[in-house]
Amino acid sequence: MSRLHSVKLNRDLCVGCTTCIKRCPTEAIRVRNGKAQIAENRCIDCGECIRVCPHHAKSAVMDTLDDLKGTAFNVALAAPSLYAQFGPPATRGMVLAALGLLGFDAVYEVAQGAEIVTASTAAFVQKALEEGRRPLISSACPVVVRLIQMRFPGLVENLVPFDSPMEVTADLARRQLAEKTGLPQEKIGVFFISPCPAKRTAVINPIARASSAVNGVIAISDLYPQILAGLEKMDAKTALQEGERLLTAGSTGVRWAYTGGEAIALHMERYLAVDGIHNVIEILEEVENERLHDVDFIEANACLGGCIGGPLTVANRFSAHARQRAFVSRAPEEARQGPQTAPDLPLESWKELPLPNPAMQLDEDIVQAMQKYEQLKQIVAGLPGLDCGACGAPDCEALAEDIVRGEAAETDCIFKLKERIRAVAAVMSDLGEEMNRYAPNREEDPHDTP
């Protein structure tokens, strides 16, 4: 696994069944010599292959509670989707208190950062629309940002240019805690409790910032049993006092956990909320082809249901959605230490937009790329078009692309291999006949010696 990714393959568990190659949104996986391989420059850490592998050969590489040992004062950042993993009688405050018991010195709600991002986004979108720039696309989901960089580089300029709620909350926590404790930044460890591996990738390979304010990213699923145990043991006094003390966000930020939450918070009429990576691709294709004229803002989440459907969550996304709605309805609309008082406002926008990722281009040189594309079309025309995946590529076009790149041969296609074998067999048969015609004459040659 690359240092820059958080999804890894266990070769011993992989049986080369090809299930994953068809679901990967960037065609990053090939099966070669009976085992899956991930092309690192194409992986966007969406986690689809973790979800679909029937043999559990793909997994996320995440940080653990052991990583807290490296810093003197540790902060947990709770993703908005964390609450929905726990049913009644757990309250948001109780979940935060139980999380704090795992060795953290402070707990922050990322929903608070989401409210800060919402306030900045609302102002930015308003101005952009006045200038005729639309649709704006949310940059909160790191998978969607990476997808745009690779498959839709022309849409990078449509991204809302603010850091994610995770980074905004981490910046806020660092500043407040350094002031409060007097500790230097390097002694403060900030850990995001995450529903997806892409957040860890966004920490080790940040989007539009030089370095992340987060030290580590721990999976919700890894902490779930301990938080649950803490909730079961929690006495009523702690539940009430500690829980109340830790709440900082209102319903606006808590709602970000599910699809539509971010867009609703912006109070916009002409928005579109799409979830599921393949649905997101369909919508982005419409934007790219200028077929989407009546939408000002697109909230796009790689996971079905939004972050509550992340690959590192525990609860079924439908019950998680019902629980989160209950948390939303119980929360005040405005944050307790919300956007109006946040020291971060207005958020600084990105200094530079994320760069396009050329991993899917056939060649950096446009003329070469066009020639290779023509070559690719000819190869595709000669392939059976069954998209069977038996060659180890997701479809015939992907195999043709691999051939053009010099990474595969036409005979990797079993139909082409059969054709080739038949052709060789025909030549062999002709040769055999030729030899038979020649052999009797040689037997009759009187000068032959045994």
Residues in contact with ligand SF4 by CB under 6 A are 7, 9, 14-20, 24-26, 28-29, 31, 36, 38, 43-49, 53, 55, 57-58
User: DSSP character for 306?
Assistant: S
Nearer to ligand SF4, 92 or 199 (CB): 199
Q: Answer whether 185's CB lies under 8 Å from 174's CB.
A: yes
Q: Are 78 and 95 in contact (CB under 8 A)?
A: yes
**260 Rama sector, left if φ>0, alpha if ψ -120 to 50, beta otherwise:** left
- What CA dihedral angle connects 86, 92, 97 and 103, to 10 degrees? 60
390 is written with which tokens?
A: 């038996």
- The least CB distance from residue 8 to ligand SF4, in Å, is 10
Q: How far is the CB of 2 from ligand SF4 (least distance, A)?
A: 11
Q: CB of residue 307 vs ligand SF4: minimum separation in angstroms?
A: 16
* Shortest distance, position 9 Cβ to ligand SF4, whole Å: 6
Q: Which is nearer to ligand SF4, 4 or 421 (CB)?
A: 4
Nearer to ligand SF4, 58 or 255 (CB): 58
Give the shortest CB-412-to-ligand SF4 separation in angstroms. Answer: 16
| Least gap, CB of 259 to ligand SF4 (angstroms) | 19
The percent of the chain in helix, strand and coil, each rounded to the nearest 5, is: 50, 10, 40
Q: Return left, alpha or beta for 368; rule: phi > 0 is left, psi -120 to 50 is alpha, else beta.
A: alpha
Query: Residue 348 and residue 366: Cα distance in Å, rounded?
Result: 36
| 91-130 residues labelled b (16+ CB within 10 A) or e (exposed) | bbbbbbbbbbbbebbbbbbbbbbbbbbbbbbeebbeebbe
136: helix, strand or coil: strand
Query: Is the Cβ of residue 58 or residue 92 nearer to ligand SF4 in the bound state?
Result: 58
- State which residue, 10 or 319, has the beta carbon closest to ligand SF4: 10
Q: List the end-to-end C-alpha distance of the chain, in Å, as a whole number.
A: 65
Residue with Cβ nearer ligand SF4 (194 or 251): 194
What is the C-alpha separation between 221 and 63, in angstroms, rounded? 12
Instruction: Please identify, using beta-carbon distances, which residue of 58 and 416 lies nearer to ligand SF4.
Output: 58
Residue 85 CB, nearest distance to ligand SF4 (Å)?
22
